[in-house]
Structure formats: structure tokens, C-alpha cells
Amino acid sequence: MLILGILPGPNEVKLHRVNHYLSLIIMELESLWEGVNLNRTNKCPNGKDIRAALIIASCNIPGAQKLCGHISALALCHRCEKRANNRNFGGMANMSNWFIMKDPVEHRQKALEWR
């Protein structure tokens, strides 16, 4: 299944508006993750329990950062702690400590605190 969502332009959409669009999809995905019962299918006339999950999303960099919960213009990567010195992602001459892995538990905790 392919679900397409295009957010209106011409300027970058603010986070609270993105949340408005995504909330409907997220609610559907949550119920599919929990599991739903199809009353009847072609191969299962007595019904079938199904579960589903979002596997991939394709976005531009600002869209991907917002979708993954990394909304800062200075955050370069969703996996590491590297930050840009400027909004144009410049200032990356210092490659020491380039890839310091983010802690997924800490990221999840911060996301829950932000709610």
C-alpha cells in the first residue's frame, strides 16, 4: 500500500500544522499496530486478524527531521549528535567525534516529556 501526503507550500510548514496532518495517519497506524479484525476476506470467510506497521517514509530533509522528531534546523542527523554551526549546514571542518550515536531511550524520554 502506498500512502501519499503532500503538505501545502510555498513555505516550510510549521510543526503544529504537520502534527495536524500526521495525527490522522498516526491514529490509523496505531490501531493497525494494535491489530484489527477483518470480518471476512476472500480466503478467510470467518474473518482474519491483521496488524500493520509503517515501513518507510520518503521526505526532504526538513520533512524527515519533523517526522522523526528532530525539528532543529541545526540537527544534521537523526542517528548521531552532530550539530551544524550554521543553518546552511556549514562548519563541519572539525571531524573529531563525528559520529556519537544517539541514545534511543533518551530520545524517546525527551519526546514523551515534550508532549
89 Cβ contact partners less than 8 Å away, ≥ 6 residues apart:
76
Tell me the average confidence (pLDDT) per consecutive run of 10 residues in the chain, 115 residues long.
67 76 84 91 90 78 70 62 57 61 82 77
For 1, the 3-state DSSP assignment is coil
Q: Is the pTM of this model over 0.75?
A: no
Check: CB of residue 7 under 8 Å from CB of residue 25. Answer: no
Q: Residue ranges of the domains in the chain? A: 12-55, 60-115
